[in-house]
Amino acid sequence: MKCLSSFDKNGEYFQQHEGTAMGNSLSPFIANLFISTFETEVKDKFEYFPRVWFRYVDDIFTVFDIKAISLDKFIAKLNNRFPTIKFTYQVEHNDQLPFLDVLVIRNSENKLEFDVYRKETATLRYIPNDSHHPFQHKMASFNFLMHRLLNFPFSKERFEHEKQLIKNIAKSNGYSVHLIDNQKINYRRFWVTPKTKSTITKSGIYEISCKDCDQKDIGQTKGSILTRFKEHMAHLKYGRTEKSCVAQHAFDNNHRIDINNLKLIRNVTNSRQLDAFENLEIIKCNNGMNKDKAPIPTSPLFALINKDSYGSVNRGNKFGINSAITNQNYTSLESVEDINLAFLLAIFPFRLLCALVRL
C-alpha cells in the first residue's frame, strides 16, 4: 500500500512537503520521537520549564508557575522553535481542567480529584439492545465504561455517581440495569492480586527450626510439608516422642515449635531423589536435631566422598560396596561447594558420566 503525498480539493491539487505520511505505520513512531527530542531540547535550553509535564501523543498536562514567567511568553518561545509546530493552551476554569477523558478538579483543600470528562455534545447513545449487531459488539461499549469505572481514581461519591450514570445509559438503550452489575463481576474475575505462593503445601525437603534455640530438623516428605509438620505436633501432643526428633527436642528441653518456623528448603517432586537431597541438606546443616545423620544413601559414590560413614558394613554391602572400602576413612569435604560437587557426582547417571570421561 502506498501513502499518497498529494490530494485534490475542488479541482485544486495540493502536495505534502513536510511531515510524515498519513497512513504509514512508522509515522506515529517518528512523530513521537521528534516531539520527545523537541521536549529534551526545550528543557535544556529554556531558563524555566514546568516541573509537571505529562504528554500523551499531542496532548500535554502541565502545572505552570506564572510567577517565574508569563504563560503567553512561554508559549511564544515554544512556537518559535519550529514554524510548523504551534502550541495552544487551555487553563483551568472554576478549578477544573479536562485532559483527554479525565476531568481534573482542584477541591477546597487544594487537592486533586478526578472525574470523567464528557463534552457538551455527548449524546450517551450506544448500540441499542434491539439492534441486530453481534452481542460482543453491543457489550464493547459497556466493557469500556466499566473498565474506566473500576480503574479511575474516583472518590466514593463520584464512583457511585458514575456507576448510576452507566446504569441510566444502559436503561436508555434498552438494556437491563443488572447488566452493569454482571459486567462488574466479570471484570473482577480477571483481577488477580499478586500473592506469594505458599510453599507449605508442597513436597520435598523441609526444615523445622526451634523457636527457643538454633536447633533445626531436616526432613523429607512425599506429601505436603504442612502435613508432616502436623504429624510432628501430634507426636508431641500425645507423647510419642520416640517417633519424632522434633517432638523429642521440644519435650526434653521444654522448647516451642511454631508453624512459622516451618520452611521448604527444596521442592522435590521425584520421590527417588528425596534421600539424596535430604543427605545433602543434613550434611550442610551443622546444628540439626536429627537422631540419625541421614537416611541410607542412594548412591555408593555419595557415601564414599562424604566425610563420615553413614553406617555399618551391611549398609555398604546393600549397595554392593566392598567391605574393605566401607571401613576406610572417607574423603573430607572442606566446604559447601565440595558437598555440592560430591552430590552432583553421586546423582549423575553412571553411563553419562562414562561418556563424558571418554570425551
Nearest to 297 by CA among 279, 282, 274: 279
Q: Are 282 and 294 in contact (CB under 8 A)?
A: yes
318 Cβ neighbours under 8 A, 6+ residues apart: 296
**Which DSSP state fits 286?**
S
278 Cβ neighbours under 8 A, 6+ residues apart: 205, 218, 219, 220, 294, 295
C-alpha–C-alpha distance, residues 273 and 268, integer Å: 7
Tens digit of pLDDT at every position of the chain (359 positions): 455 567 777 888 877 777 787 778 888 898 899 899 999 988 888 888 888 899 998 899 998 888 888 888 889 988 988 888 889 889 998 999 999 999 999 988 888 899 999 988 888 889 898 899 998 888 888 888 888 888 888 888 999 999 899 889 988 888 888 777 776 656 555 555 555 567 888 999 999 999 889 889 999 999 999 999 999 999 998 889 888 989 999 999 999 998 888 999 999 888 888 888 888 888 888 777 765 555 555 555 455 545 444 443 333 333 333 333 333 333 444 444 555 555 555 555 544 445 444 54
Spell out the alpha helix ranges (H) of the chain. 27-45, 71-79, 135-151, 156-172, 178-189, 225-237, 245-253, 274-284, 300-305, 313-318, 323-326, 336-347, 350-358
**What DSSP line would sit under 37-51, residue for residue?**
HHHHHHHHH-S---S
Query: How confident is the model at residue 291, as a pLDDT?
Result: 55
C-alpha–C-alpha distance, residues 53 and 35, integer Å: 13
Q: What is the pTM of this model?
A: 0.47
Query: How confident is the model at residue 232, as a pLDDT?
Result: 92
Query: How confident is the model at residue 99, as a pLDDT?
Result: 92
Nearest to 99 by CA among 59, 72, 159, 139: 59
- Which pairing describes strands 112-116 and 102-106: parallel, antiparallel, or unpaired? antiparallel
Query: How confident is the model at residue 334, as a pLDDT?
Result: 46
C-alpha–C-alpha distance, residues 205 and 210, integer Å: 17
All structural domains of the chain, each given as residue ranges with its CATH number in brackets, are 22-89 (no CATH), 123-189 (no CATH), 199-293 (3.40.1440.10), 296-359 (no CATH)
Query: How confident is the model at residue 275, as a pLDDT?
Result: 84
Q: Are 159 and 149 in contact (CB under 8 A)?
A: yes
Beta bridge partners of 54: 61
Query: How confident is the model at residue 233, as a pLDDT?
Result: 92
